[in-house]
Amino acid sequence: MQEPPPQSGCHDGSEQAFAADRARLVAAIRRMTQDEDGFAPRAVSAQVLAVIGKVPRHRFVPREIRIEAYGNHPLPIGHGQTISQPYIVALMTDLLQLDKRQRVLEVGTGSGYQTAVLAELAGTVFSMEVVAPLAEMAAHTLHELGYGNVTVQAGDGAQGWPEHAPYDGILVTAAAEEVPPALLQQLRPGGRLVIPVGGRFEVQRLLRITRREAGGFEREYIEPVRFVPLV
């Protein structure tokens, strides 16, 4: 199956052109998980792909690089931070298995793009970002786009956000050396925590930790990833 060619050169910056970019991005993600060599990364549900096809990623990146917004790779968002690769956003979201009754905590709002993806699928999203200007910018973008079920707060998310706990899902978008105990405590029984774990110069491992209804936690290793460090 062939992917439609990228639109370099003839992108007029219209919403229509961005919508076409989004459709190409969804096709690219679907294709990369269908390689038949046995090494393809884990597939993502149709429900999450539909959300990737809907959320305007170009609104979450600096204006100068908007036309690059739909490449399947990370992009700089200022303050030394990046917006994650769309496939990784889709994968991490899918691992939470969200529905509209659920309450989610995100640690590492960044641009707010992942936050918007979560807000499409969950009931309520609480998101914490340690870099205050990023938190402010993300809150502004999310508000402009009409995401009324999201609350962004500037602060250290490694301690979680106990006021709104417990959470059905917790998503950490920066790599921790170890899983922060506060986040495990704030997980509802049956809830899931998705987090990259590993040091700055190590291969990080994307983990999904499920709090068992019967007590205790189950850990699954998903795949190797690369994230900025949790501070």
Residues that bind ligand SAH in the complex, under the rule CB under 6 A: 77, 81-84, 107-108, 110-111, 113-114, 128-131, 134, 156-158, 173-174, 228, 230-231
CB of residue 14 to ligand SAH, shortest distance in Å: 24
When the beta carbons of 67 and 195 are compared against ligand SAH, the nearer one is 195
112: region left, alpha or beta (phi > 0 left; psi from -120 to 50 alpha):
left
Q: Which residues of 133-151 are buried (b: 16+ CB within 10 A; e: fewer)?
A: ebbebbbebbeeeebebbe
Report CA-CA distances (Å) from 17 to 57, 76, 86: 13, 22, 18
CB of residue 141 to ligand SAH, shortest distance in Å: 10
CB of residue 90 to ligand SAH, shortest distance in Å: 11
When the beta carbons of 36 and 144 are compared against ligand SAH, the nearer one is 144
Please tell me the distance from the alpha carbon of residue 11 to that of residue 207, in angstroms, as a whole number.
38
CB of residue 59 to ligand SAH, shortest distance in Å: 12
Which residues are within 8 A (CB) of 172 and not within 5 positions of it... i.e. 6 or more apart? 106, 107, 108, 157, 183, 193, 194, 195, 196, 230
Marked catalytic residue, from 8, 14, 45, 84: 84
Please tell me the distance from the alpha carbon of residue 229 to that of residue 63, in angstroms, as a whole number.
25
* Residue 8 known to be catalytic: no
Strand, coil or helix: 12: coil
When the beta carbons of 52 and 77 are compared against ligand SAH, the nearer one is 77
When the beta carbons of 48 and 128 are compared against ligand SAH, the nearer one is 128
Give me the active site residues, please. 84
